[in-house]
A = this chain, B = another copy of it.
Amino acid sequence: MIPRVDAHEKVTGRAVYADDIHLERMLIARPLHAAYPHARIITIDTTAAVAVPGVVAVLTAADLPGAHRTGGIIQDHYVLAGDRVRYQGDVIALVAAESADAAHAGVAAIRVEYEPLEPLIDPKAALRPDAPRVHPERADNLIAAYRLRRGDPAAAFPSCAHVIEREYRTQHVEHAYLEPESAVAVPEPDGAVTVYGSVQHPFSARRTVALACGLPLERTRIVQTTLGGGFGGKDDTANLVCARAAILALHAGRPVKLTYTREESFRESYKRHPFIVRARLGVDGDARMQALTADVTADGGPYCTTSPYVIWRPTVQCTGPYLVPNVHCDTRAVYTNNPLTGAMRGFGSPQINFAIESWVDEMAHETGLDPIEFRRRNLFRQGCTTHTGQRLDRHTVSIAEVMDRALERFGWGEAYARGNRGRAGPDGKLRGVGIACSYRGVSLGAEGADFCSSIVEVLPDGTIELQVGVSENGQGMKTAMAHILATELGVPLERVRFLDTDTSRVPDGGPTVASRATLVGGNAVLDAVRALRERMAPALDARPGRVVTFDEQVAACRARGITLRAEGRWVGPPVTWNEETGQGDAYFTYVYSCNLAEVEIDAATGRVRVLRLLGAHDVGRAVNRQMLEGQIYGGLVMGMGLALGEIYHVANGIGVETNFDRYRLCRANQAPELEAVIVENPDPDGPWGAKSIGEPANELAAPAITNAIFHATGVRIRELPVRPDAIREGLAR
């Protein structure tokens, strides 16, 4: 067992989170959020706020030193809202004060006069030509759109044996990281600023802070503090929290801390995009898929964030791991005045996979085949060409193997046989099992350049410092990287110290998203090992035979004055994408996954109890089995939350749940029996053959559960989360 390198500091409470930082003369900041989801701001009166004892600074949009808008793709995200608010999470003013109480009082004393406007809350309506625009300067409310064209579905449908047309919907979901947004900004003597922040990608935080402060990047340093959970949620909003703290710190000339309350975090932070997926699927007489049209509309909220990437991935993966010769897919993200949406673990996949694995299951039922047999006839095979025109021959196409391993471990046949299919047993319970499969592009793919750097330095006493351009977001990256390095060098893990990401220390390795950290970071570490060996070679060649252990090698190098520091670099294999046709080699490799679920439903109440969840994944190569299993268990339970409980209700643009008292996360006592099946087909492009697990683990539990519900009850769920009354009503029909 390889223990997590940060386990001890976390369980003993010694890990330092941003809010744990206290500096002399540090001010406490508070934001004033919008009172309406959509309104014109008539006046902002800060007179009374400035007069509150202890208040040091009250800033509005008029006081901003740099760009008013930031954003990684489109710069449309207001640092402070000036003349208009576009959603409930817009910040209108910032107060910095000697104490939290004074800051609260300062915020309470700000008077804002609004002219409320009707919020756009329906993304489909927002696309109408006559719809009012969230950003009046833009031509329409379209954030981004993608299309995929292969073959001719319209021509193929008429000759299909079965055709179904369905609509699926998913909900707003909160990331629910344990630690809300937090940042401490420190003005440096030379006019620069350092921000200690709970951010998942310090380099995008640096871009945001530099832009908002009007500073060059070299005056902007971000140090990532221990991340109390992210799940993709510590990007745009967290970066803005850093920027606002930095603006206040530079203004006041004092350190400033801005930590969100849970209510502020719920209000402002981006959620998982709700999807509306409309699809038409046709199969031939052998139940082989022949044609698919899919139309996806994602509610993007008021700002772009990463929405274009969140809809691009579902475009690529719109067939699931199934061969379909004729495919048209259209995806779009739309501006609304609903809560902001953005990156979340899975990045569009959990939503599209819910739709795909539902329609596959529905079609299996339609054809009279069992769900396994139907899938088996359509699965990707080694060397096949997908609907994007990519020939899958670089890696092992293992979806059939993954499915078989999962079914066997689960005892699927027996469990499937005992399914109730709508007829409750004498105890009033209905049982059923469900399956869902996926393939998932690893890393950024054609949506961004894939690269990473690492730095390894062997210190004079033989201990080792390691830095990698991706970040520890709680997923165990530090441990995986340190483990790879220690193993390659043949030294104990304890000798390696992984340094937290600090933008002044290590080059940007791209965002720590898309389940890419192990792959890109691991490759960068291996390259650093190669470079280190290159530096050591002259010393070792000079003393053949005598230099055996790593310590002896280090001593030989020191004797020759060789500084044992090396940078490793990795750039991904080429990927391509044609924006017009949606054809190309979108990702250089894929992870194949299968989830199985067994559920029990109370016929009287419609309440669903998940009995078992199994996740099977071809991860290429297991670097750390224990952490892999942890990722799979966590992903399954998070996916179960998506299926059964988690929904951030939005009423006319305003979120209903404001804290965890109302927001229904899965609780530990609801967790089912969990099982992980790790399949290993080493990938030629992965470090030691490793691929990914973070997001694959989270993208299939929901459809596996809803398919199990269908197997138990005969009721088909097409909208998440599952409502017990919908099941009850279905059973009654």
Residues of A within 8 A of B (CB): 5-6, 8-9, 12, 14-16, 21-25, 188-190, 192, 207, 210, 216-219, 226, 449, 451, 453, 457, 459-461, 463-465, 495-497, 499, 502, 504-505, 507-508, 561, 563, 565, 567, 569, 571
Complexed CA–CA distance, A733 and B339 (Å): 98
CB-CB < 8 A to A217: which residues of B?
Answer: 459-461, 463
Q: List 29 A-B contacts (CB under 8 A).
A: A8-B190, A9-B190, A12-B189, A14-B190, A15-B189, A16-B188, A21-B24, A22-B23, A22-B24, A22-B25, A23-B24, A210-B461, A216-B459, A216-B495, A217-B459, A217-B460, A218-B463, A218-B464, A218-B465, A218-B496, A219-B497, A449-B561, A451-B561, A453-B563, A460-B508, A504-B505, A507-B563, A563-B569, A565-B567
> Chain B residue with minimal CB distance to A10?
B189
Docked-complex contact A189 and B9, CB < 8 angstroms: yes
CB-CB < 8 A to A449: which residues of B?
Answer: 561
Q: Given A189-B16, A216-B461, A460-B217, are A499 and B504 also a contact pair (CB < 8 Å)? A: yes
Docked-complex contact B16 and A497, CB < 8 angstroms: no
CB-CB < 8 A to A190: which residues of B?
Answer: 5-6, 8-9, 14, 497
Docked-complex contact B565 and A192, CB < 8 angstroms: no
CB-CB < 8 A to A461: which residues of B?
Answer: 210, 216-217
Q: How far is the CB of A433 from chain B (nearest CB, A)?
A: 44
CB-CB < 8 A to A508: which residues of B?
Answer: 460, 563
Which of B23, B453, B495, B565 is within 8 Å of A23, CB to CB?
Answer: B23
CB-CB < 8 A to A192: which residues of B?
Answer: 497
Complexed CA–CA distance, A26 and B716 (Å): 61
Complexed CA–CA distance, A459 and B571 (Å): 18
Q: How far is the CB of A583 from chain B (nearest CB, A)?
A: 23
Complexed CA–CA distance, A499 and B218 (Å): 10
Complexed CA–CA distance, A226 and B188 (Å): 12
- The 4 lowest CB-CB distance pairs between A and B, nearest first, are A22-B24, A14-B189, A218-B463, A9-B189
Which of B14, B16, B497, B504 is within 8 Å of A218, CB to CB?
Answer: B497
Complexed CA–CA distance, A216 and B8 (Å): 18
Complexed CA–CA distance, A505 and B505 (Å): 5
CB-CB < 8 A to A6: which residues of B?
Answer: 190
CB-CB < 8 A to A25: which residues of B?
Answer: 22
CB-CB < 8 A to A499: which residues of B?
Answer: 504
> Chain B residue with minimal CB distance to A190?
B9
> Chain B residue with minimal CB distance to A216?
B463
CB-CB < 8 A to A188: which residues of B?
Answer: 16
CB-CB < 8 A to A24: which residues of B?
Answer: 21-23
Complexed CA–CA distance, A362 and B22 (Å): 65
Q: Which of A218, A561, A565 has the largest count of B CB atoms less than 10 A from its CB?
A: A218
> Chain B residue with minimal CB distance to A457?
B507
Complexed CA–CA distance, A495 and B507 (Å): 18
Q: Given A189-B14, A189-B15, A460-B217, are A565 and B465 also a contact pair (CB < 8 Å)? A: no
Complexed CA–CA distance, A701 and B301 (Å): 74
CB-CB < 8 A to A465: which residues of B?
Answer: 218, 504
Q: How far is the CB of A503 from chain B (nearest CB, A)?
A: 9
Q: Given A24-B22, A189-B14, A465-B504, are A218 and B561 also a contact pair (CB < 8 Å)? A: no
> Chain B residue with minimal CB distance to A226?
B189
Complexed CA–CA distance, A207 and B463 (Å): 12
CB-CB < 8 A to A218: which residues of B?
Answer: 459, 463-465, 495-497
Q: How far is the CB of A573 from chain B (nearest CB, A)?
A: 12
CB-CB < 8 A to A567: which residues of B?
Answer: 565, 567
Q: How far is the CB of A546 from chain B (nearest CB, A)?
A: 21
Complexed CA–CA distance, A315 and B464 (Å): 39
CB-CB < 8 A to A23: which residues of B?
Answer: 22-24
Q: Given A22-B24, A189-B15, A497-B218, are A561 and B565 also a contact pair (CB < 8 Å)? A: no
> Chain B residue with minimal CB distance to A12?
B189
Apart from A9-B189, A16-B189, A216-B461, what 13 extra A-B contacts exist at CB < 8 Å?
A: A16-B188, A22-B23, A22-B25, A23-B24, A216-B495, A217-B459, A218-B496, A218-B497, A219-B497, A451-B561, A507-B563, A507-B565, A563-B569
> Chain B residue with minimal CB distance to A217?
B459
Q: How far is the CB of A316 from chain B (nearest CB, A)?
A: 21
Q: How far is the CB of A359 from chain B (nearest CB, A)?
A: 38
Complexed CA–CA distance, A496 and B496 (Å): 32
> Chain B residue with minimal CB distance to A464?
B218
CB-CB < 8 A to A22: which residues of B?
Answer: 23-25
Complexed CA–CA distance, A457 and B502 (Å): 14
